[in-house]
Amino acid sequence: MTTYASLARTPRSGTGPTTAPSDAPAPPAAQAPRLDVSGALLALLRDTTTAPRPDPQLEALTLAVSADLPVLLWGEPGIGKTAALTQFATTLDLPLTTVIASVHEPSDFSGLPVIGEDPESDGVPMAPPDWAVRLVRAGRGLLFLDELSTAPPAVQAALLRLVLERRVGALRLPPGVRIVAAANPRSSAADGWELSPPLANRFVHLKWVHDADVVVRGLGGVWPRATLPALDADRLPEAVAFARRAVCGLLGARPALVHRLPSGETQRGGAWPSPRSWDMALCLTAFATAADASRDVLSMLVRGTVGDGPGLEFLAYLDRMDLPDPEDLLADPGGAELPVRGDLRQATLDAVVAAVRARPERHRWDAAWALLAKAAETGAPDLLVVPATTLATLRRDDWEVPVSIEGLAGAVSVSQRADRAKARALSVTRAAR
């Protein structure tokens, strides 16, 4: 059927030279400026900046990299692990070398055999891949092992020496090279595998999650800036001594935590305690102490090396290390400084009562009551119920009740009445259900 549009495009005979149709594609030379404009728009979209911003997971990553420990970032697809590593390398001015572990053969990490002139006498050397040679030539850099959870077991076995000894074939990576890997959980990985226990135990495992505020600011053009931690040079010996005392103290009291291989396959592919991972935890504790890192950062690092359970026990042990000596408190109750945090204050008062029970003497019993009275003036009275009740049972018949108990009795009774009222409310609520 003939349409108006077809008639308009059909040249009439005798009207002059035929012209190119208006909708014909422009020649390549005319399309080039359009691509240039597209490139300019893409450049503007990629033109972002960075700004300092508190970010515990980024601080934990930089601290582990400073400690020269291999780090494995766990996160769902699209969470920004690769982008964070790229920005991290750019900020620290480290050449970034990305290796997709799942698309390589085991020989790519263990080295390819190359026959020389006299293999009988010289042997057959294992030649490294080109990316390892480039890292050695640069002398420094960030080796990013991406998609680690999609690497088959044979490739994971070949990665063991690379991650621990920094060797690729016959080549040893220089000290200036840091190793960071990324992986998706098996449930969301493309044809994923669980990590083998030997490989998993060589990493500091960090859970990488998105922060909505960080994403919004980043899409607006400002991402958080990664900076290496500032270590206090004057505190280095103190930091090492503190870390050694903490790790050795906990493992001396809990020897079962020295090595505990999980029974589940998924747990074996994560962080779990072993002499190797405790050595990493010791190193990270020293670095965190020298850098005056926050409690959240230290928690991420320690739990990422020895697992959640042992890591939380270690953090609790650190709290007990910071508690004042109960004998010092009993010797000078008037000048004693009690912890402000409720759980630490409770532990301190319990330790004071335990010290009096171990050596029950009149002046020590009186000093303990003075400490409880001081705690009642500066903190919640409900923390005093248990230690006060226990301390009262230690009284001998010939010991007079100290005056400080009078002020303490009111606070304890109020707390006990509140507890009884709470218990009654709960019983009424349960009965109504």
Tell me the three-class secondary structure of the chain, residue by residue: CCCHHHHHHCCCCCCCCCCCCCCCCCCHHHHHHHHHHHHHHHHHHHCCEEECCCCHHHHHHHHHHHCCCCEEEECCCCCCHHHHHHHHHHHCCCCEEEEEHHHCCCHHHHCEECCCCCHHHHCCCEECCHHHHHHHHHCEEEEEEECHHHCCHHHHHHHHHHHHHCEECCEECCCEEEEEEEECCCCCCCCCCCCCHHHHCCCEEEECCCCHHHHHHHHCCEEECCCCCCCCHHHHHHHHHHHHHHHHHHHHHCHHHCCCCCCCHHHHCCCCCCHHHHHHHHHHHHHHHHCCCCHHHHHHHHHHHHCHHHHHHHHHHHHHHCCCCHHHHHHCCCCCCCCCCHHHHHHHHHHHHHHHHHCCCHHHHHHHHHHHHHHHHHCCHHHHHHHHHHHHHCCCCCCCCCCHHHHHHHHHHHHHHHHHHHHHHHHHHHHHC
One digit per residue, the tens of pLDDT, for the chain of length 433 reads 444 444 444 444 444 444 545 555 656 655 667 778 888 898 898 888 888 788 888 899 999 999 999 999 998 888 888 888 888 888 888 899 999 988 888 888 887 777 766 666 666 777 888 899 999 999 999 999 988 888 888 899 989 989 988 988 888 999 999 999 998 887 665 566 888 999 999 999 999 888 888 888 888 888 888 778 889 999 999 999 999 999 998 998 889 999 999 988 888 999 999 999 999 999 999 999 999 999 999 999 999 999 999 999 999 889 888 788 888 899 998 888 888 888 788 888 888 998 899 999 999 988 998 888 888 887 777 788 888 888 888 888 888 877 767 666 655 554 444 344 445 545 544 555 5
My answer on whether 199 and 168 are in the same domain is yes
My answer on whether 82 and 180 are in the same domain is yes
Residue 150 domain-assigned (yes or no): yes
My answer on whether 72 and 215 are in the same domain is yes
My answer on whether 187 and 205 are in the same domain is yes
Residue 40 domain-assigned (yes or no): no
Number of domains in the chain: 3
What is the model's pLDDT at position 416?
44
My answer on whether 168 and 307 are in the same domain is no
My answer on whether 336 and 211 are in the same domain is no
Q: Which CATH number goes with the domain that contains 207? A: 3.40.50.300
My answer on whether 165 and 104 are in the same domain is yes
My answer on whether 314 and 332 are in the same domain is no
Residue 6 domain-assigned (yes or no): no
Last residue in a domain, options 303, 320, 337: 320
Residue 156 domain-assigned (yes or no): yes
My answer on whether 294 and 343 are in the same domain is no
Residue 316 domain-assigned (yes or no): yes
Residue 215 domain-assigned (yes or no): yes
Last residue in a domain, options 199, 224, 249: 224
My answer on whether 312 and 425 are in the same domain is no
- State how far the Cα of 194 lies from the Cα of 165, in Å rounded to an integer: 22
Domain range for residue 393?
Answer: 326-432
Residue 309 domain-assigned (yes or no): yes
My answer on whether 59 and 189 are in the same domain is yes
Last residue in a domain, options 204, 224, 244: 224
What is the model's pLDDT at position 47?
85
Q: Which residues pair with 126 in a beta bridge?
A: 113
- State how far the Cα of 104 lies from the Cα of 72, in Å rounded to an integer: 18
My answer on whether 196 and 62 are in the same domain is yes
Residue 386 domain-assigned (yes or no): yes
